[in-house]
Amino acid sequence: DGGITQSPKYLFRKEGQNVTLSCEQNLNHDAMYWYRQDPGQGLRLIYYSQIVNDFQKGDIAEGYSVSREKKESFPLTVTSAQKNPTAFYLCASSPSGVREEIDTQYFGPGTRLTVL
Amino acid sequence: GEDVEQSLFLSVREGDSSVINCTYTDSSSTYLYWYKQEPGAGLQLLTYIFSNMDMKQDQRLTVLLNKKDKHLSLRIADTQTGDSAIYFCAESIGGNTPLVFGKGTRLSVIA
């Protein structure tokens, strides 16, 4: 089955701890994205990567870090510097090379992070 | 700049049609998208329309695009309780750039 997986589904962390959220895709997509969703706020872009070993900051990158060492993986680390990390985190990917599909993003099921 | 606006709530009776509206500001948008999000889940792509089209129909879904007014709508015919969800409008200017999302419209279907 092709798709995007995120793990874990629920994550609890104590204040002051770093935590890494996993995102894997087997769709052979070049681009991957991380969004944060808070109630009533829609989606806000944290980081995105258009190619392996390269990534760009989104609108709310402070307190987060990413890596893109493999095409299929784009882990997000929520650091202790993130002031209010409790949120729903969504990973997405998009293909390249096929005109109609260029920007279409496909989403994983999300990880709900709660800071205790 | 890019901005996508949607009304936050819509309530309809089962069997009626739902119309969810969206306005965008970037005139260079190439694709416009509708996504559906059920509680606790990721976003599911419903449909998209290329900016040189006026209308696209897919079973119960009809997308209308008024490029002059930068207005996009999603009509759901014969709305069912399973259509209750948050619907996001998104625009893209192309080239694998990130989509810009609206805040989402919460559709409630009353039986």
pLDDT tens, position by position, B40-90: 899 999 999 988 899 999 999 999 999 999 999 999 999 999 999 999 999
For residues A59, A95, A53, A34, the Cα torsion angle rounded to the nearest 10 degrees is 30
Cα-to-chain-centroid distance, residue B86: 10
Joined together, the tokens standing for residue A46 give: 């944290």
Buried b (16+ CB within 10 A) or exposed e, A5-35: ebeeeebebeeeeebebebbbeeebbbbbbb
**What Rg value do the Cα atoms of chain A yield, rounded?**
14
Q: How far is CA B30 from CA A54, A90, B49, in A?
A: 25, 24, 9
Single out the residue of A43, A35, A49, A41 nearest to residue A6, CA to CA: A35
d(CA A45, nearest CA chain B) in Å: 8
CB distance from A45 to chain B under 8 Å?
yes
What residues in A contact B33, CB-CB < 8 Å? 104-105
Closest-CA residue to B76 (of B11, B20, B24, B8): B20
Nearest chain B residue to A30, by CA: B96
Segment A69-73 shows an average pLDDT of 97
Chain mean pLDDT for chain A: 91
Q: What is the pLDDT of residue A53?
A: 95
**Rounded to an integer, what is the distance from CA A49 to the centroid of its chain?**
10
B→A contacts (Cβ < 8 Å), by residue, are 8, 30-31, 33, 35, 40-45, 48, 50, 88, 90, 92, 94-99, 101-104
Q: Can you tell me the mean pLDDT for A39-64?
A: 92
Q: Is the pLDDT of residue A39 over 90?
A: no
